[in-house]
Structure formats: C-alpha cells, structure tokens
Amino acid sequence: METAGARNHTSYPKRKRDEVATNGTDNIDLALLEAVEKSQKAVEVLDLRTVKKLSLAFERRLRDNTEARLKYPDQPDRFADSEVELHEEIQKLKVLAAGPDLYPDIVKLGVISSVVDLLSHSNTDIAIDAVQLIQDLTDEDVLEDNDEPARVLVDALIENNVLDLLVQNLHRLSETDPDEMAAVYNTLATIENLIEVKPLVAELVCERTKLLKWLLGKIKVRDFDSNKQYASEILAILLQNSTVNQRRLGQMNGVDVVLQAVAMYKSKDPKSPDEAEMVENLFDSLCCLLMPLENKERFVKAEGVELMIIIMKQKKSAYGSAIRALDFAMTNYPPACERFVDVLGLKTAFAAFMGKIPLNKKNKKERYQEELEERIVSLIASLFGGILRGTRKERLLSKFVENECEKIDRLMELFLRYSDRVKVEMERLNQIELEDLEMDEEEKYNRKLESGLYTLQLIAVILGHLWCSEHSQMRARIELLLKQQKLTRQDIKNILQEYHDNIGDLDGPEEKEKTQGKIQKFISAL
C-alpha cells in the first residue's frame, strides 16, 4: 500500500513542528496531502449531521477493508485498494478536532471504539493513521476550555483499551524508519495529552501496560534524537506526582538505568538545547525516583553518590542538577550522608557553598545561581541531619573552622541576604492587607516561603547545629558577626521558632515531633 507518504505530520506538538524535517519526514507526498486538505475543507459546517455522515463513511470503509482482508488474507493486492480508501476516510475524520463540543456525540456513535481498534491493524500505516487521529483529537489546543467533552472522549478511549494498544504500537514501531519514528513521537504526545486531561492516566498506563519498560529502554540508547528527548519528558511526567510509579520503577531497576543515562554527561555537555532539556528531564526523573526510602537505598548501592560528585568535579552543565539529586538522596537518609562524607564529597560541596561554581552561559543567570545556592544550603542541612556523631561529624564541623571560619562568614552573609528578602516580602504582604485584599495566614506563610523563608530557616538550622557543637571558636565567630550587623541570637531564634511552629506532618506525626524536638533544642541552646 502506497500511503506512507500521505501521513500528515502537522499533528506534531507545536514545539516540534519546525523540527520534523530532521526526522526525515520531508519526503511527504505533497499532492496527496493537498488532496486530503481539500477534502477536509469541503466540509464547511461541522455539526451533528456532518459527524454522522463522516462516521458512516468511515465505518463503511473499515468494514470493506476488514472483509477484504478476511477473504484474501494471502493476497495483499486484493485488499490494497480498500486500505487506501480507509486511509483517506481516517484523514477526513481529523476535521472532528475542530468541534470538541461534539465529542460526546462522536463517542455515542461508536467511532472512538473503531478508531482505537485500528491501532492493532496489521498494516502499520493504518495504525499510524489512527495514532495521528487520536493525537489530533486530544491535542491540548483543541481541548482547551472544553473540559467536559475532553473527559468524555478520554474516558471512552481508556474504556476501549487505548493505553495498552498505544504502548503495544511503541514496541512494534521501528526506530529507523522516519515515518515510524514520527509515529513514536505522536504516540508519546497522545499519552501526554491523555494525562493532561485525566492525571490518573499517569498511574493507569504504568499499571496496565509496559510503557515504563519501553521508556527505560529508550533512555538507555546512547544516540540522541527527539524521541529519546520525549521519552525522558514522559518519564518525568509519570513520576512527578506518583509515589506508586516511583516505587514501581525502582523495582524495575529504574534507579540504575536513569543513573546510566545521566552518566553519559558526566564529562561532556549536551550538544543542543533539546539535548540539554533531555538531560534536565533525566535529572527530574532521578529526583522523583529518590522520594521513596527504598530508592534512596538503591541509589547509594548503585554508587549514585559517587557519580554525582564526579559530575560536580567535572564542572559541566549538569553540575547544578547533580547537587539537586544529592540533596534529594540525602534528605532524611543518613546512609547517603555517610557515604557522601566517606567518598570525600565535603570538599566539592563546600566549594559550591562558597560560590566557587563553574560559569557558563546557563549558570551566569542570577536565578540559576540563587537556585544552586538554595540547593547547596539544603544539602548541608541534610548532612547535619544525617550525620550525628563520630569522625564524620567532626569532619563536617571542621569545615566551618578552616580558613578562619570563612564558611561561617558565608553562612551569615546568606542569613542577612535572605532575611532582607523575607522582610521585603512581609512589607509587600502588609501593604496588600492595607488595600483590603484578604489573605489568610497559611497563604501569607507560603508566600514568605517562596520569597526565601525556607532557605533562611535551613540556614538558621545549620547555625543551630554549629552552636550546639559547643565549639568556642565557632560560637565566638557567630557572636561577632551578629554584633557587626546589630543583630542578636534572638534573631536566629525567631526564625527557628517560626519554623518549629509550622512544621507539617507530611512525613507522619512521629517525624514531626522528632523534628520539632531538634529545633527546640537549638532554640534553648541559643
């Protein structure tokens, strides 16, 4: 069947439409494409009558093709014409995307069931046509402001087993044929569209299909292409709000696979903005994976701590992402903190803390440097939380004494800067209240956290650890710096008290009580 060239690649998500030529899809049969577009334009008014007419024509061609294939299973030339005609009817159905308000009617007519069935059609070209049609119908721009019709459509697709059939297609599509590569991209776009309308799909697709397995296989490939980039993005989407998916992927050796994928960039930078975005997606996936405790353990066993330190030492573009991953790994997980000290990570971490970060086009941006600063503060706070005694604790504390307590100087510099930022935000919030705009205490507190209060609290926690070490030189340095800025220990205590009073119980009541007890100890000591 000579229909491959007729595939309508304009169904790519917007960000990729300009790039399809790189996938080798510029050999489209323009004459046939124009004919299809003309046939679509011929439908001037999209109403229920038109929808029924299109549906009947499509069902007729589908029936003809099915009968011809059953009658002449071993004679492709006897059913080739019916396949061309079916292809043309599928193209005409794309006009349905212009009327999302009619989606409930389309579902009632049974069209969706028939289109989904085509995903398993013996002719890959027809299956690809079906993918492109479903992607068009579920496109974000099409479904915008059409929430209810969108849900009706997505529910119908899921009820008709679209998730399993889409993923089965991923496994059978070639990664060398340009048109099939485009179909892989469209399949991933469709899955993303479905999740956008119905977030529960993120867990359903991992529970019911082998999508995670396919994604892991794709990110392991060394060569970069747009499908590897999109696979990394879908992986991050599936993991970002789902503990179930994070644990599921961890059980599939996912931590090790993602580490292998980021290891490709330990001593080299991405060659393009798209490749750089893929690397960020991989690190986003890694950080999500590091939420469950059992995956932190897998990370340490797979020498993830060592890999992140190597990436930092190489000072390539993944530098900041490696710090972020370490912070996730070490939060509430002492074994990762201990490994970090054992493999000499302190020197690398404190170089970043002192602002000695590699400069490139990306991290010259002020916001990037602020994020890095906040992340390294969080990492050091995690170290203090995870290393409670012994020689490791001594090594950590000694960092704040060396070079005439320069780390304490830096800590107090950050304390002042973030204090000022929070004060400015408080003044702004007070002004809003004066203008009679209501804002409850929880919202005010969240606004302050976003303006830098969380980092300020972590700095106060680190100062609390230093003070409780009862090291005379460190205490004297803190006192001196406070006095120079006309501040007192009470200013640190105030920050700690607010932190103490607002600790949530997301990690359970026992963890909340334990953290509050630690903060109260700092307040009492100060």
pTM above 0.75, yes or no: yes
Q: CA 323 to CA 378: how far, in whole Å?
A: 10
Tens digit of pLDDT for each residue in 135-193? 999 998 888 888 899 999 999 999 999 999 999 999 988 888 899 999 999 999 999 99
Tens digit of pLDDT for each residue in 360-408? 655 556 677 888 999 999 999 999 999 988 999 999 999 999 999 999 9
Residue 14: the pLDDT is: 37
Backbone angles phi, psi at 498, to 5 degrees: -65, -40
Which class is domain 1-209?
mainly alpha
Tens digit of pLDDT for each residue in 67-79? 998 988 888 888 8
Closest CA to 24 of 7, 44, 40: 7
Tell me the torsion sign for CA atoms 46, 47, 51, 57. Answer: negative
Question: How many other CB atoms sit within 10 Å of the CB of residue 146?
Answer: 16
> Do 239 and 289 contact (CB within 8 A), yes or no?
yes
> Do 197 and 154 contact (CB within 8 A), yes or no?
yes
Backbone angles phi, psi at 433, to 5 degrees: -70, -35
| Range list of H helices, 252-359 | 254-263, 273-289, 293-301, 304-314, 319-330, 334-342, 345-353
Confidence of residue 283 (pLDDT cuts 50, 70, 90): very high
> Do 304 and 259 contact (CB within 8 A), yes or no?
yes
**What is the C-alpha radius of gyration for the chain, rounded to an integer number of angstroms?**
29
Does residue 23 register a pLDDT over 50?
Answer: no
Helices (H) and strands (E) in the chain, counts: 30, 0
Three-state secondary-structure class, residue 465:
helix
Residue 205 to residues 210, 221, 258, 454: CA-CA distances in angstroms?
8, 22, 20, 35
